[in-house]
Amino acid sequence: MKILIVEDEELAVKKLQKTLEAVDASAEIVGITDSIKSSVEWLQENTPPDLILMDIELADGQSFEIFNLTEVKSPVIFTTSYDEYALKAFKVNSVDYLLKPIQKEELQAAISKFNKLNPSNADISIDSLVKELQQKLQPKEFRKRFLVKHAQKLVSIEVGEIAYFYSDGRLNFFKTTDNRKFVVDYTMDELQEMLDPEKFFRISRSFYVSISSVDKIDDYFGNRLVLGLKPAVDKEALVSREKVTEFKKWMGK
């Protein structure tokens, strides 16, 4: 199998070469490029390799630009340092990606996957994955403020002023850090698309908390957690059992 490596970190290249040797002794590295420019030139001047291992972030930009500048006829495994949760959806695609540092078992599984690919579908798979990755990795615009009713008026509340969102089963509310309470005209599922997941976490079906509002965390029966929030809330803020592990990771970032 002839392989092109597109990677701008020398240590990453050496590790990838060593891992490839351990995974497939017949693998032949026919080229190593470290930028969009050099990759485009290599692809235009050489026979398409059987497989390309391509880092997403290169010194002169994201490697997606390569696909805009020249035809890529080979299957691609993307490599990336991006968080697994940001890209986990792409494991279902016929074109794979690997997280750095790349593990032997994962590379072996990815190459095995490519060996089973129908070459005639490779271009379609690559185009589809590139578009999805570009959309996923573009900085997302999250809600900056909410327009809410207050004493017969409409007032604009900055998201940074909001401590948490919660539901009483009929209406959805949020409380601000200075303990003002407002009705919000969005469902919890809609709020999930609007709120920055770095700053807000959905601890249950009826609660979204900001990281700055969590004042205390205690164990609770049923393998759950109960949160002490600031300002105080008039119902229990419980982290559901299936959310506990993810919540702990979020709090520890």
Q: In tens digits, what is the pLDDT along the chain, a chain of 253 residues?
A: 899 999 999 988 998 899 888 888 888 999 999 999 999 999 999 999 988 998 888 888 888 888 889 888 888 888 877 655 345 434 433 356 676 777 888 888 878 777 776 554 444 455 666 666 666 666 668 899 999 998 889 999 999 999 999 998 889 999 999 999 999 999 999 998 899 988 999 999 999 999 999 999 999 998 999 999 999 998 899 999 999 999 999 998 6
Gap between the Cα atoms of 249 and 66, Å rounded: 35
- Give all strands of the β-sheet with 207-210 in edge-to-edge order: 181-183, 172-176, 162-167, 207-210, 200-204
Gap between the Cα atoms of 8 and 38, Å rounded: 11
Gap between the Cα atoms of 23 and 106, Å rounded: 10
Gap between the Cα atoms of 108 and 106, Å rounded: 5
Domains in the chain, ordered, with CATH? 2-137 (3.40.50.2300), 145-251 (2.40.50.1020)
Q: The whole model's pTM is what?
A: 0.50
